[in-house]
Amino acid sequence: MRYLSLFISIVLTVVSCEKKEKFKPRSVSKIEFRTLLQDSLLDVRALEIVNENCVFFLTSNGYGGSVNLSEDNGAHVVYPIFIDDDSLKNNFRALAYTRKNRFGLTIGTPAKLYKIKNGENTMVYQEHHPKVFYDAMAFWNDQEGIAIGDPTDNCMSIIITRDGGETWTKLSCDDIPNTKAGEAAFAASDTNIAIIGTHTWVATGGVASRILYSPDKGHTWQVFDTPIIQGKETTGIYSIDFYDELNGFAIGGDYTKPDENSANKIRTKDGGKTWELVANNKNPGYRSCVQYIPNSNAKALVAIGFSGIDYSNDFGSTWKHLSDEGFYTIRFLNDSVAYAVGKGSVSKLTFK
């Protein structure tokens, strides 16, 4: 009798496994917009959801802003927040944070990296060079972070902190794969870097558009080719995101030809070693930012740019155009709510 019960248990387990349904991401058909801040002079490409109660952003004219999500009315905006007495000369395109501090990084020369905390803002890194131009920044944990920029020598500029952002050190080109002629990066959405655990992917663009990969938080690096459109200064990857250690997606194109949709969307299923074109010669065209929707099993993506917002629930194979509203970058709070910024506005987006 005991063996019969064991046999029945095994059979039921096998049948149960066989009947297990595949994950099906929900379908999104529209977006509900709520404008939190509107200003014709506003230009924002650096945005982060610091925690469930706070969204922080930095602008191209040197100011910061925050959205407090714990207010009874749903959101309280503080803007402008002064970062430096020389604010108007600071063009922020990169923003990252730890539990203790926020960090903002400017483009152009001199590059200036600020630690931002309760109105006491400190410059923790500065770099002078005719070619200096930093594009994106992110942290692995509260102690270790990375920022990347265009080459000043024969490799991408990479600076790293190992002490919580107090000091930053630029890596030698002896430790990074050499760039190709005309290879750089874009400061369009602060999403040139993707991090999962200790794994790091950096997207380059321009005449050559490739993936720099580090398995160990920036200690060693490899480089992988991609099939995305490249060959001109304005072509290549503008944004990259990873859902887990294997599944990643990148998008871009040519911002001077936003309607062109040839070879501007690529995906990987092996951690970035190889990439394939998807939705080739199908919309969307140029987009400056792509993000996975949380809890979607690497299936659902949202891509945004100054000409609209698009959605995919099949790992980027097909796309649905949801809105003509233009933004530069987006971050998800959960699988339904996101915050997006761009030219003239900071908005809350609810996907339905």
Token couple for 28:
């999104």
Q: Which residues contact 297 (CB under 8 A, 6 or more apart)?
A: 23, 25, 243
Residue-range definition of the domain harbouring residue 281: 31-351
In a domain, 253, yes or no: yes
The pLDDT value given to residue 89: 83
In a domain, 318, yes or no: yes
Query: CA geometry: angle at 296 spanning 332 and 304, to 5°?
Result: 45
In a domain, 26, yes or no: no
In a domain, 11, yes or no: no
Cα 262 to Cα 235, 238, 280: the distances in Å are 11, 15, 5
Least Cα distance to 115 among 106, 130, 104 occurs for 104
Least Cα distance to 93 among 136, 39, 123 occurs for 136
Contact 248, 267 (CB under 8 A): yes
Token couple for 140:
């692995």
Distance CA 238, CA 45 (A): 12
Number of neighbouring beta carbons within 10 Å of residue 267:
19
The pLDDT value given to residue 73: 62
In a domain, 346, yes or no: yes
Contact 190, 93 (CB under 8 A): yes
In a domain, 208, yes or no: yes
In a domain, 9, yes or no: no
Distance CA 322, CA 236 (A): 24
The pLDDT value given to residue 72: 58
CATH, residue 219 = 2.130.10.10
Contact 314, 298 (CB under 8 A): no
In a domain, 4, yes or no: no
Burial of 1 (0-12, 13-18, 19+ CB in 10 A): exposed
**Tens of each residue's pLDDT in the chain, 352 residues:** 444 454 445 444 444 444 456 777 788 999 999 999 999 999 999 999 999 899 999 999 999 999 998 765 668 999 999 998 776 689 999 999 999 999 999 999 999 999 999 888 999 999 999 999 999 999 999 999 999 999 999 999 999 999 999 999 999 999 999 999 999 999 999 999 999 999 999 999 999 999 999 999 999 999 999 999 999 999 999 999 999 999 999 999 999 999 999 999 999 999 999 999 999 999 999 999 999 999 999 999 999 999 999 999 999 999 999 999 999 999 999 999 999 999 999 999 999 9
Distance between start and end Cα atoms, the chain = 53
Torsion sign (Cα): 174, 176, 177, 180: negative
Contact 110, 102 (CB under 8 A): no
Q: How many residues does the chain have?
A: 352
The structural domain count of the chain equals 1
Q: Which residues pair with 170 in a beta bridge?
A: 159
In a 3-state reduction of DSSP, which class is residue 87? helix
